[in-house]
Structure 1
Amino acid sequence: MNKIMLVAAVAVIGLVGCNKPDLKSDKGQASYAIGQQIGRNLKAQNIEIDAKTLAASLTDAMAGKSELKEDEIQKAMMKLQEMAMKKQSEEADKNKANSAAFLEKNKTAEGVKVTASGLQYIVVSEGTGAIPTKTDTVKCHYKGTLTTGEQFDSSYDRGQPAEFPVGGVIPGWTEALQMMKVGSKYKLFIPPELAYGASGRPGIPPNSALVFEVELLDIVKAAAAPAPAPAKKGKK
């Protein structure tokens, strides 16, 4: 509730006088940038607001007055949180069913292999290099989409490969990378439980199956070899 109250309160700043934003001054640009961030945050939390009422409330608050009592405000915020949680739960249930249906159909597609965990993958091209371990750090190029084809991330678009520890990513990636030789390119179909689950993340709705194209470019930091055990001293 406190998080929602804070986000909603700050969001009002970007709504007052929003008919014609000031994009020329430093103050105006900063205000607009904050408004964009807050608006995206509200959208990600499935919070629906009445912009005009929100702006009017800010005006009242700055004038030291309120049309609602404190207990009424708290009650309204609790209700808002309940509505947001219900909407997220309904979306998660729907996405879970859609993801299951997609994966069930996809596993019969040509070239698709399925592991014991439920991870599905296609070997686009097989490399000839080493296979990383869970404790290695690797360099990859990748593109991630939802099952609808909507892209949410791409190292190709950024023009820069990503480096990360094999054990520091989502479980579906950790598993797949330990099957890939350097130089390989795989297409992954990752169930929600091996991705971001019911929590989701910005750009990824809860319980979404994800599709990735992954190129394993290099192992940039191999796991350190264990130190040799000290030699035992002979008896005197």
Structure 2
Amino acid sequence: MKLKLFFVLALAAVVCLPANAQKKAKKTKAKTATTAVETPAAPSIKPVDGKTFSEALGIAQSESLKQYLTSRENIDAAHLAEAMKGMTAEISDEERAKALAYAAGLRIAQINKQNLPYFNKQAAGSMDTTYVDVNTFQNALSKAVLGETCTMTADSAMKVVENQIKYQQEIYKARNLDWLAQNAKLKGVQRLADGLQYRILTEGTGPVADDSTEVEVHYEGSLIDGTVFDSSYKRNKPSTFRPDQVIKGWREALKMMPEGSVWNLYIPYDLAYGERGQGEKIPGFSTLIFKVEVLKVKKEPAKTN
């Protein structure tokens, strides 16, 4: 911001003035015999009074403040006047503290609203369900924070939450295992001893990778409900890695797939991301379905650190 830079440069000039003055004094002293003393020129800029400068300062910062409010504070442009009322309000420190606390509560309500689909996903298995009632949740949260009487203790409440999430995990795990059992019966699906299943879509004829070989692949990964969680096809850019850098199911399959192969992989959770899952997109106990296309198997072993 130019205005901020102006103040920074002004401050730097003030801080550096004594040293510069000393240097100039020394030089002047050395040249007193031959150099005439210069008369300082009058400033060419006309100063303004403090009120005029204060008004100019506010106007100069207005665009930056508007951008901050709309982009960082997510204030709708139609409600900027309300923000300005708060800024210019002449209220006591106590009233201001209460207003700030109220605003914090509004922000927390917004965060709760954003998190609600994830609460539902964990507790009921679906993000678009109405299992978690937001009013009941927030009223209970408010009472507990304020130390008011609640229907259960904090420990017992945590136990209820943990048990419900565990129940949903068991349901999800059983659903994924059943899906694998049914998938194994389909024509063309082959199953290995550790549970990895695959179907060959295109037979490759090129070299096969080992743990130290880099492989260039295109792939798309999804859950059993069809949710796509990753796709190099959508990025329009293949990925390159070694078999020893990926999950167990991939590692095993890549060392079986000749260059040019296209397979569907059906990977049980214990050969993927296990009980914990991976981020928000892959829950624990997830069976992962991949279409994998081996574009190139490099002949030279990959360099390791």
Length-normalised TM-score, structure 2: 0.52
Q: 1:134 to 1:85 in 2, by over 3 A?
A: farther
Whether 2:250 is the aligned partner of 1:205: answer no
Which of 165, 178, 184 aligns to 1:101? It is 178
Aligned identity (percent) is 34
| 1:126 shift after superposition | 1.6
Equivalent of 2:73, from 28, 37, 41? 28
Are residues 1:67 and 2:112 paired? no
Runs (4+) of structure 1 moved beyond 4 Å?
A: 34-58, 78-81
Matched, 1:216 2:291: no
Q: CA deviation at 1:185?
A: 0.6
- What does 1:102-181 align with in structure 2 at a 5 Å threshold? 102-181=179-258
Q: Highest Rg: 1 or 2?
A: 2
Amino acid at match of 2:260: G
Structure 2 gap ranges (5+): 1-66, 76-106, 125-130
Asked if the contact 2:116–2:132 (Cα under 8 Å) also holds between the matched residues in 1, the reply is: no
Determine which structure has the larger helix proportion and give its number.
2
Q: For residue 163 of structure 1, report the CA deviation from its aligned partner.
A: 2.3
Cα distance, 1:221 vs structure 2: 7.9
Distance 2:230 2:157 in 1: 31
Letter in 2 for 1:171: K
Q: CA RMSD in A?
A: 3.8
Q: Secondary structure at the match of 1:25?
A: helix
Native 8 Å contact 1:132 1:222 kept in 2: no
User: What does 1:14-53 align with in structure 2 at a 5 Å threshold?
Assistant: 25-29=70-74, 35=111
CA distance in structure 1 between the partners assigned to 2:68 and 2:235 by the alignment: 27
Q: Is this contact kept in 2: 1:134–1:165, CA < 8 A? A: yes
Question: Which SS does the other structure have where 2:293 is aligned?
Answer: strand
Distance 1:68 1:90 in 2: 30
Find the partner of 2:165 among 81, 88, 94.
88
Task: After TM superposition, give the deviation of residue 132 of structure 1 in Å.
Answer: 0.8
Larger relative contact order (Cα-Cα within 8 Å, sequence gap ≥ 6): 1
Q: Distance in 2 between matches of 1:23 and 1:188?
A: 48
Give the CA deviation at 1:40: 7.2
Alignment partners' CA distance in 2, 1:161 and 1:80: 47
The Cα of 1:214 is off from its aligned counterpart by 0.6
Aligned length: 195
| Alpha-carbon distance between aligned partners in 2 of 1:42 and 1:208, rounded to the nearest angstrom | 18
Once the two structures are TM-superposed, the CA of residue 38 in structure 1 deviates from its matched residue by 6.1
Distance (Å, rounded) in 2 between the aligned partners of 1:92 and 1:222: 43
Mark the CA change 1:154 to 1:87 in structure 2 (over 3 Å): closer, same or farther: farther
SS of 2:289's equivalent in the other structure is strand
CA displacement at 1:51 relative to structure 2: 5.5
Q: Cα gap change, 1:199/1:185 in structure 2, threshold over 3 Å: closer, same or farther?
A: same
In structure 2, the CA distance between the partners of 1:133 and 1:212, relative to structure 1 (3 Å rule), is same
Runs (5+) with no aligned partner, structure 1? 1-21, 61-65, 226-236
Relative distance call for 1:107 and 1:57 in structure 2 (3 A) is closer
Give, as a single letter, the amino acid of the residue that structure 1 aligns with 2:213.
D
The answer to whether the Cα contact below 8 Å between 1:138 and 1:221 also exists between their aligned partners in 2 is no
* CA distance in structure 1 between the aligned counterparts of 2:114 and 2:175, rounded to whole angstroms: 29
The 1:103–1:54 alpha-carbon spacing in structure 2 relative to 1, beyond 3 Å, is closer
TM-score by structure 1 length?
0.65
1:123-160 CA-partner distances (Å, limit 9, x unpaired) = 10022221111232322111111112222221111222
